[in-house]
Amino acid sequence: MDHYSMNLTLEVWRQQNGGARGGFVTYKVEDISSEMSFLEMMDVLNERLIHEGQDPIAFDHDCREGICGMCSMYINGRPHGPWHANTVCQLHMRAYKNGDTIIVEPWRANAFPVIKDLVVDRSAFDRIMQAGGYISVNTGNAVDANSLPVEKNLADASFAAAACIGCGACVAACKNSSAMLFVSAKVSHLALLPQGNPERKPRAHAMIAQMDKEGFGSCTNTQACESVCPKEISMTNIAKLNSEYIRAGLSEKS
């Protein structure tokens, strides 16, 4: 594809802190290369704002390789932008054309309060993981990889669920701000492996209880979460989570 430059209009959400009133601010950016990543374009804008003595736009980023999930933002109303199975840092400006207007916002969920501008507090995910997303292991030397045989179909399903990077796009896309896809991925990838069996019964109950405590909504079954997930986590994991939750409940009653 040919390299080209473009001029764009950005409508960016600015909010000084969680208690402040936020709003959109319009910025013009010029001579943006089609081969820049979206975050590189934001870097160019921030360098200009700093040079002009203005406060740069706060946004999360780290690896910029689609691994960490920190680059979370709405772009024209879609989490992570228009490309399928893609994080913001993997989005390139060739997705747009000269003269486009791009609206950039933070995640919109009560459980993800805004810290500043495009940065939200996603520590609720950490607390859900602390509630049950762990396994028991003996201390000492590492166990040989082949000492616990795992069926290939289970290993593959576990690996697919473990691909979740916890970015929160599923929450942002859901009209109820549900975290079920995230929680189900974390429960599934442990429940499918023998290493996850010691905590299997209480895990689903504990993690769902913490999810509810954090203020996430219930699943809508509209598949919006799956459609925007950058790692294509399947909604079949939600069925697995429901199964684990019911099984744990029946076990407690027996």
Residues 91-125: pLDDT tens digits?
Answer: 999 999 999 999 999 999 999 999 999 999 999 99
- Mean pLDDT over 53-62 rounds to 97
The pair of three-digit structure tokens given for residue 136, joined into one six-digit string? 């028991």
N-to-C CA span, the chain: 63
Entry field: residues in the chain:
254
Confidence class for position 3, pLDDT limits 50, 70, 90:
confident
CB neighbours of residue 213 within 10 Å: 13
CATH 3.10.20.30 placement within the chain:
5-115
**236 phi/psi in degrees, rounded to 5:** -60, -25
CATH 1.10.1060.10 spans which residues of the chain? Answer: 122-253
Tell me what pLDDT residue 252 has.
63
- Return the CATH architecture of domain 122-253: Orthogonal Bundle (1.10)
Mean pLDDT of 152-171: 96
Homologous superfamily, domain 5-115 = Beta-grasp domain (3.10.20.30)
pLDDT in tens, 58-84: 999 999 999 999 999 999 999 999 999
pLDDT surpassing 70 at residue 147: yes
Place 144 in a pLDDT band, splitting at 50, 70 and 90.
confident
Mean per-residue pLDDT, 181-188: 98
Which of 49-63, 131-145, 181-195 shows the lowest per-residue confidence on average (mean pLDDT)? 131-145
Q: Is pLDDT of 32 > 80?
A: yes
